[in-house]
C-alpha cells in the first residue's frame, strides 16, 4: 500500500491538525481536508472541564469516601500507657508500720530501743522496696493491755478511722519477764500482735548502738516478713519493671515455689463463690450435715478473710456421679486392702461432663470443693504415690476423697455427720487459703491476710499496667481497628486509679491501694476486651472494592485517559514551543 502513513510519534487527531502532511500521495488520496483549528477558548474550556471533574473527585469524592470508610479511633495516651507497662511511672514501695507498745519502759529508753532496732532492721533488709518502720505507740494506749484490745476491736468498723489501724502491719508488746537471759517472743495466731518478753538488763543503754533485745526483735521481724518480701520481690521481678537486681538473695527453690503458688492461686476478685459438692457413685450417702460443718469449720475462716473479699457459699449433693471414665480404674493393693488411684490420673478425675459444677451466677470466680465418697467395694481409695486422699486443682478448687475410717470395713452411713466431715472440712480450708494465694508463713492468720493484701495490691497494679501496655501495642499494631470513646475513658480511669494506688502504697494505705488497684484492673480489662474493637477487623477491604468496581472502573478509566491525553498534549505543545 502506498498510503502508509509516516510513523509519526503520536498519531492522534489533534496532532494531525498541527503537523503538516509530508506525503503528497496521501494528501491526494484523502482529498485532505483539515479540521478547522481549535480556538484557544475551546481548548481552555476542555481543560477546565477535566480539571473540574478531577476537582470534584479529589475535593469531594475522596474525602467522603475516606470519611465513610475510616473507623473511629479515640485518642489514647499511648506514651503514658507504655510508661506504665514499662514500670517507669510507679515504683511500688511497701512501708510497713510496726507499733511498739512498751508500757513498762521510760519513753527515752523506748525511743532508744526503737532507734537501735530500726538500725539493726535496716542492716538486715536487702530489699529496699519493702521496709519496716518502727513507731512507738501513742501514750494513751499504754494504759492497760487488755483494755487496748477492747479498744481495737471496738474501733474496727467505724469507717475511715479504722484505716490507720488496719494498715498497721504488726503490733509489738514489750512485756517484762523474769526468767531467761535471752528474750522470748510469742506470735498471736489470731491477732496481728507479737508479744516479746524481756528482762530489764536487755534494754539498751542510751549510748549503746546495739543490744540483744534490739537484735532479737529485728531478727524476729525479718523472719516474720521474709516470705512476704520474697513474694513481693518475685512479683517485681516478674513484672518488667527493671528491678531484677533486687532479688539476688532469692534462692532457686524459693522462686520456684513462689511461681508454683502464683499459678495455683485464683486471680484476685472482690467476691468468690464457694461450692461444696458431695459426689458419690452410688445412692448413699443421701444426707450430709454440711450446714453445721460449714458453720463450725468454715465460717470463722471466712469471717477473718472478709476484709479482703466477700464469699458466698452454696452446697449440693449428687448421687450416681462417678468420676471421669477416662481415669484408669483404681487397682487394689492386696497387702493393705486399699484401692489405689494413679497420680497421673488425678488431673482427669473430675468428671466435667457429668458433674453439675457450672460456675455460680454473678461476678467473681467459683471455687469448687469436691467431696467424693467412693463405693463400698472400692474403699478406702487413696492416691498410689503418697497414700494421700486429697489434692488441689490449680485455679479451680480442691478434691477430697472421704474414706470410711481405716481398718473397719463399715458400710458408708446414709447420713454424714459433722464429725465425719471434719477432716474434709479442715483440708478444704487449707486448700482455700492456698487457692486464695495466702502465704504459708508466718503463723498468725491476720498477718498472712495483710500480707495478701499487699501482694494482691502489687500484683493487680502490675497486671493493670501490663494490660495497658498490651492495649497500647495492640492499637499501634492494628491500624484498622476502631477505638470507641469508652475505651479512652476506661484508659483514663485506669491511669488515674493506678496513680492513686501507687500513692496509697507509698503512704502505707494498703487497703485503699488494693481497692484502687482493683478498679484499675477492672477498667483496664474492660478497655482491652471492648467488643466493638474487634468487629471491624474481619471485614476485608477488597470486598468493598469488588462490590463497587462496576462504578469505579468505568468512571475512573475515561477520567484518567482524558487527563493523560491532556497532559501529553500540553507536553507536546511545550516541546513544540521550545
Partner 1 sequence: MLSKVLSIFLSIFFYFTCIALGSDYHERLLLRPLPQSALLASFNFRSNTSATSFEQQHFRYFPRSLGQILQHAGTKELHLRFSLGRWDAENWGARPWDGAREGGTGVELWAWVEAESNEEANSRWLTLTNALSGLFCASLNFIDATKTIRPVMTFQPEGHHPNSTTDNLHLLHGTLPHEVVCTENLTPFLKLLPCKGKAGISSLLDGHKLFDASWQSMAIDVRPLCEVDGSGCILEIEQTVDMVLDIDRSKRPRDNPIPRPIKPTDLECDASKPYHAHDSCYPLDKKAEVAWNLKDVFGRPIKGSCPITADRGPDSETVCINVAPEREVQIQTSGGWTESKSEDGFVRCYRIFGDSDFDLNFPSQLVDKTVPLAQPRLYAARSINGYGQERGSVQAVITNPSPVDTIDLIYLESLPWFMKPYIHTLKAAILPSTNSTPTPPIKETYYRPSLDRHRGTHLELLLTVPPVSKVILTYDFEKAILRYTEYPPDANRGFDVAPAVIRLLSPRAPRFPHSTPEALKRGTYLRTTSLLLPLPTPDFSMPYNVIILTSTVMALGFGSIFNPLVRRFVGVEEVGAAGLAGAVRLRGFLRGRVERLRARFGGKGGKGE
The answer to the question of residue 368 lying near partner 1 (CB under 8 A) is no
Of the residues 2, 33, 67, 408, which one makes contact with partner 1 according to CB under 8 A: 33
Least distance from C-beta 318 to partner 1, angstroms?
Answer: 8
The DSSP-derived string for 489-521 is HHHHHHHHHHHHHHHHHHTT-HHHHHHHHHHHH
The verdict on whether omega for the bond into residue 304 sits within 30 degrees of 0, i.e. cis, is no
The answer to the question of residue 5 lying near partner 1 (CB under 8 A) is yes
Q: What is the rounded CA–CA span in Å between residue 93 and residue 99?
A: 19
Nearer to partner 1 by C-beta: 337 or 359? Answer: 359
The answer to the question of residue 226 lying near partner 1 (CB under 8 A) is no
> Packing angle between helix 445-477 and helix 510-528, nearest 10 degrees?
30
The answer to the question of residue 361 lying near partner 1 (CB under 8 A) is yes
Q: What is the rounded CA–CA span in Å between residue 299 and residue 293?
A: 9
Of the residues 75, 108, 477, 551, which one makes contact with partner 1 according to CB under 8 A: 551
Question: Alpha carbon of 353 to those of 87, 395, 429: distances in Å?
Answer: 43, 19, 26
Least distance from C-beta 14 to partner 1, angstroms?
Answer: 7
Q: What is the rounded CA–CA span in Å between residue 293 and residue 313?
A: 12
> Which of 87, 134, 79 minimizes the C-alpha distance to 111?
134
The answer to the question of residue 38 lying near partner 1 (CB under 8 A) is yes
Nearer to partner 1 by C-beta: 278 or 449? Answer: 278
Stretch that binds partner 1, among 54-62, 84-92, 355-363, 435-443 (CB under 8 A): 355-363
Of the residues 34, 306, 419, 536, which one makes contact with partner 1 according to CB under 8 A: 34
Please name the residues in contact with 224: beta carbons below 8 A apart, sequence gap of 6 or more: 170, 187, 194, 441, 442, 447
Nearer to partner 1 by C-beta: 226 or 559? Answer: 559
| Locus of grid cell 531484677 | 244
The answer to the question of residue 57 lying near partner 1 (CB under 8 A) is no
Of the residues 362, 405, 540, 577, which one makes contact with partner 1 according to CB under 8 A: 362
Stretch that binds partner 1, among 88-96, 137-145, 553-561, 569-577 (CB under 8 A): 553-561
Nearer to partner 1 by C-beta: 190 or 548? Answer: 548
Q: What is the rounded CA–CA span in Å between residue 338 and residue 330?
A: 10
The answer to the question of residue 553 lying near partner 1 (CB under 8 A) is yes
Of the residues 312, 378, 441, 503, which one makes contact with partner 1 according to CB under 8 A: 312
Q: What is the rounded CA–CA span in Å between residue 505 and residue 514?
A: 9
Task: Phi first, then psi: give them for residue 174, nearest 5 degrees.
Answer: -95, 120
Listed in order, strand segments (DSSP E) in 204-352 are 271-279, 287-288, 310-318, 331-333, 338-341
Least distance from C-beta 294 to partner 1, angstroms?
Answer: 9
Distance between terminal CA atoms of the chain?
Answer: 36
> Which of 475, 519, 514 minimizes the C-alpha distance to 496?
519
The verdict on whether omega for the bond into residue 380 sits within 30 degrees of 0, i.e. cis, is yes
Q: How many residues bind partner 1 (CB under 8 A)?
A: 58
Nearer to partner 1 by C-beta: 54 or 104? Answer: 54
Q: Mark residues 13-32: x for contact with partner 1 by CB under 8 A, - for none.
A: xx-x----x----x--xxxx
Of the residues 325, 337, 356, 535, which one makes contact with partner 1 according to CB under 8 A: 356
The answer to the question of residue 352 lying near partner 1 (CB under 8 A) is no
Q: Is 513 exposed, middle or buried (0-12, 13-18, 19+ CB in 10 A)?
A: buried
> Which of 150, 133, 143, 147 minimizes the C-alpha distance to 101?
143
Q: What is the rounded CA–CA span in Å between residue 136 and residue 461?
A: 31
Instruction: Convert 155-178 to b/e letters by CB count within 10 Å (16 or more is b).
Output: eeeeeeeeeeebbbbbbbbbbeee
The answer to the question of residue 548 lying near partner 1 (CB under 8 A) is yes
Least distance from C-beta 279 to partner 1, angstroms?
Answer: 11
The answer to the question of residue 135 lying near partner 1 (CB under 8 A) is no
Nearer to partner 1 by C-beta: 106 or 564? Answer: 564
Q: Mark residues 232-271: x for contact with partner 1 by CB under 8 A, - for none.
A: ----------------------------------------
Q: What is the rounded CA–CA span in Å between residue 186 and residue 548?
A: 82
Q: What is the rounded CA–CA span in Å between residue 344 and residue 14?
A: 89
Stretch that binds partner 1, among 8-16, 93-101, 332-340, 514-522 (CB under 8 A): 8-16
Stretch that binds partner 1, among 89-97, 227-235, 244-252, 545-553 (CB under 8 A): 545-553
Q: Mark residues 271-300: x for contact with partner 1 by CB under 8 A, - for none.
A: ----x-------xx-xx--xx---------
Stretch that binds partner 1, among 33-41, 55-63, 138-146, 163-171 (CB under 8 A): 33-41
Least distance from C-beta 297 to partner 1, angstroms?
Answer: 15
The answer to the question of residue 9 lying near partner 1 (CB under 8 A) is no
Of the residues 265, 360, 475, 500, which one makes contact with partner 1 according to CB under 8 A: 360
Nearer to partner 1 by C-beta: 19 or 250? Answer: 19
Within 313-332, the residues that bind partner 1 by CB under 8 A are 313-321
> Which of 468, 93, 78, 452 minimizes the C-alpha distance to 243?
93
Pairing of strands 390-393, 397-401: antiparallel
Q: What is the rounded CA–CA span in Å between residue 237 and residue 516?
A: 22
Q: With residue 338 as reference, give the H or E element that holds it.
A: strand 338-341
263, 434 in Cβ contact below 8 A?
A: no
Query: What residue ranges bind partner 1 (CB under 8 A)?
Result: 3, 5, 8, 11-14, 16, 21, 26, 29-35, 38, 42, 46, 49-50, 53, 275, 283-284, 286-287, 290-291, 312-321, 354, 356, 358, 360-362, 547-555, 558-559, 562
Amino acid at each position: 500500500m502506498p498510503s502508509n502513513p509516516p510513523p509519526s510519534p503520536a498519531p492522534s487527531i489533534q496532532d494531525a491538525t498541527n503537523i503538516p502532511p509530508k506525503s503528497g500521495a496521501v494528501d491526494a488520496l484523502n482529498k485532505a481536508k483539515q479540521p478547522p483549528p481549535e480556538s484557544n477558548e475551546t481548548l481552555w474550556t476542555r481543560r477546565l472541564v477535566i480539571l473540574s471533574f478531577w476537582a470534584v473527585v479529589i475535593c469531594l469524592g475522596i474525602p467522603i469516601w475516606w470519611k465513610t470508610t475510616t473507623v473511629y479511633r479515640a485518642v489514647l495516651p499511648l506514651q503514658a500507657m507504655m510508661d506504665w507497662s514499662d514500670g517507669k511511672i510507679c515504683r511500688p514501695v511497701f512501708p510497713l508500720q510496726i507499733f511498739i507498745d512498751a508500757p513498762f519502759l521510760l519513753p527515752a529508753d523506748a525511743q532508744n530501743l526503737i532507734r537501735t532496732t530500726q538500725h539493726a532492721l535496716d542492716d538486715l533488709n536487702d530489699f529496699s522496696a519493702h521496709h519496716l518502720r518502727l513507731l512507738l505507740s501513742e501514750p494513751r494506749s499504754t494504759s492497760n493491755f487488755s483494755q487496748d484490745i477492747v479498744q481495737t476491736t471496738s474501733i474496727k468498723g467505724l469507717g475511715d478511722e479504722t484505716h490507720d489501724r488496719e494498715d498497721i502491719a504488726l503490733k509489738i508488746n514489750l512485756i517484762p519477764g523474769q526468767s531467761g537471759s535471752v528474750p522470748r517472743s510469742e506470735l498471736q495466731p489470731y491477732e496481728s500482735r507479737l508479744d516479746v518478753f524481756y528482762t530489764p538488763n536487755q534494754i539498751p543503754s542510751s549510748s549503746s548502738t546495739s543490744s540483744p533485745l534490739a537484735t532479737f526483735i529485728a531478727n524476729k521481724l525479718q523472719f516474720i516478713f521474709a516470705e512476704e518480701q520474697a513474694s513481693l520481690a518475685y512479683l517485681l521481678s516478674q513484672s518488667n519493671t527493671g528491678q531484677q537486681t533486687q532479688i539476688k538473695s532469692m534462692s532457686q527453690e524459693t522462686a520456684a515455689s513462689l511461681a508454683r503458688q502464683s499459678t495455683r492461686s485464683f486471680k484476685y476478685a472482690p467476691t468468690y463463690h464457694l461450692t461444696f459438692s458431695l459426689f458419690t457413685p452410688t445412692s448413699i450417702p443421701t444426707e450430709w450435715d454440711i450446714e453445721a460443718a460449714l458453720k463450725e469449720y468454715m465460717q470463722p475462716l471466712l469471717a477473718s478473710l472478709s476484709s479482703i473479699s466477700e464469699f458466698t457459699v452454696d452446697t449440693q449433693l449428687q448421687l450416681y456421679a462417678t468420676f471421669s471414665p477416662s481415669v484408669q480404674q483404681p487397682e487394689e493393693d492386696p497387702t493393705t486392702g486399699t484401692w489405689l488411684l494413679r497420680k497421673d490420673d488425678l488431673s482427669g478425675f473430675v468428671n466435667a461432663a457429668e458433674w453439675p459444677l457450672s460456675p455460680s451466677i454473678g461476678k467473681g470466680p467459683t471455687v469448687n470443693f469436691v467431696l467424693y465418697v467412693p463405693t463400698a467395694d472400692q474403699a478406702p481409695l487413696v492416691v498410689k504415690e503418697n497414700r494421700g486422699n486429697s489434692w488441689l486443682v490449680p485455679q479451680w478448687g480442691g478434691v477430697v476423697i472421704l474414706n470410711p475410717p481405716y481398718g473397719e470395713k463399715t458400710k458408708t452411713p446414709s447420713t454424714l455427720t459433722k464429725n465425719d466431715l471434719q477432716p474434709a472440712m479442715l483440708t478444704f480450708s487449707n486448700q482455700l487459703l492456698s487457692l486464695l494465694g495466702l502465704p504459708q508463713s508466718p503463723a498468725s492468720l491476720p498477718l498472712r491476710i495483710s500480707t495478701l493484701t499487699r501482694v494482691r495490691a502489687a500484683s493487680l497494679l502490675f497486671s493493670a499496667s501490663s494490660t495497658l501496655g498490651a492495649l497500647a501495642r495492640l492499637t499501634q499494631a492494628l491500624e484498622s481497628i476502631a477505638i470507641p470513646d469508652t475505651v479512652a475513658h476506661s484508659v483514663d480511669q485506669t491511669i488515674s486509679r493506678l496513680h492513686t494506688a501507687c500513692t496509697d502504697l507509698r503512704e502505707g494505705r494498703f487497703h485503699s491501694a488494693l481497692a484502687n488497684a482493683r478498679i484499675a484492673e477492672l477498667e483496664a480489662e474492660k478497655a482491652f476486651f471492648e467488643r466493638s474493637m474487634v468487629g471491624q477487623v474481619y471485614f476485608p477491604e477488597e470486598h468493598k472494592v469488588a462490590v463497587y468496581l462496576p462504578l469505579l472502573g468505568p468512571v475512573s478509566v475515561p477520567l484518567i485517559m482524558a487527563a493523560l491525553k491532556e497532559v501529553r498534549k500540553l507536553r507536546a505543545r511545550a516541546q513544540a514551543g521550545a
